[in-house]
Amino acid sequence: MVVLVTGASSGIGQVIADHLSSKGHVVYGTSRSIQTGEYGFNTITMDVTDISSVRTGVELIIQQHGHIDAVINNAGIGILGALEYIPADDIKKLFNTNVVGMVNVCQAVIPFMRKKGDGKIINISSIGSEMGLPYRAPYSASKAAVDRLTEALRIELGSFGIRLCSIQPGGVATDIEKNRLKAAMPSDSPYQESFTRATKVINDSVSKGLDPRDIAILVEKLIHAKRLKRTYRVGKTKEKFAVVIKRILPSFLFENMLKKNYQI
């Protein structure tokens, strides 16, 4: 299969691209900073927020192979901070990458998949899309948008043989902290103490998180699957169970659980 993986210069994307390449797939990994020759898969410099950059990359693959069988929309960034202090430009950057970037890639590949009558688009979301995470409000909102776009496109594109799903990981052991946007907080901020405690919980969930290879293995299974469910949730039992509990408990009880978890 010919597979396009965005955000493949590090983290989950790199692990997915490496794994798929090791299984014999023709993999093209992209990012704004990816360097040719440093990876075990084909690389293309691509900025998902720039539609012309995306179309150039997609057309290059089409010229080489005539088709793209699967796309893994993994490119994304995180954000951390009290919403009161997060600059609007950072929120725009987050949504441009996590949401608009995904749309740009879809718009570039859909015509080729539709013409072929076949294709898979797998969007990397987050369990955090299912609930408003404190001090990560824009991130939760952006991943919720990814899920709703995926849901709508499943209906729009199904008759053309194009299948979509979203994967919702919990905490994953990657270097997301390095690229995460962070809002400066005044030293006298009333959020300071709870933010410090919550940040430790957040960082611990990453450092002790899921092995990204588990996601890569799932992706490899999905690109071969005849049918795709709307959502695949991957994480620790506690993380996955939180989604179920939210649907059952009254909102104030679930919010109290989140407060306790994040020590707010």
Enter the tokens of residue 103.
Answer: 């749309």
| Distance in Å from the first CA to the final CA of the chain | 47
Enter the tokens of residue 95.
Answer: 């949504």
Active-site entry in 31, 53, 135, 139: 139
Residues in the chain: 264
Q: How many beta carbons lie within 10 A of that of residue 107, not counting itself?
A: 13
* Residues 219, 152 contacting (CB under 8 angstroms): no
Instruction: For the chain, give the longest Cα–Cα distance.
Output: 59
Active-site entry in 143, 191, 205, 232: 143
* Residues 215, 15 contacting (CB under 8 angstroms): yes
Is 264 exposed, middle or buried, given 0-12, 13-18 or 19+ CB atoms closer than 10 A? middle
* Residues 264, 200 contacting (CB under 8 angstroms): no
Active-site entry in 9, 21, 53, 205: 9
Nearest CA-CA partner of 259 in 123, 134, 167, 122: 134
Say whether 116 is catalytic: no
Say whether 52 is catalytic: no
Cα–Cα dist 63/15, whole Å = 26
Active-site entry in 125, 126, 129, 205: 125
DSSP-derived 3-state class of residue 15: helix
Say whether 125 is catalytic: yes
* Residues 60, 43 contacting (CB under 8 angstroms): no
Give the CA count within 13 Å in the CB-facing half-sphere of 188. 0
Say whether 194 is catalytic: no
Cα–Cα dist 225/219, whole Å = 10
Catalytic site residues? 9, 125, 139, 143
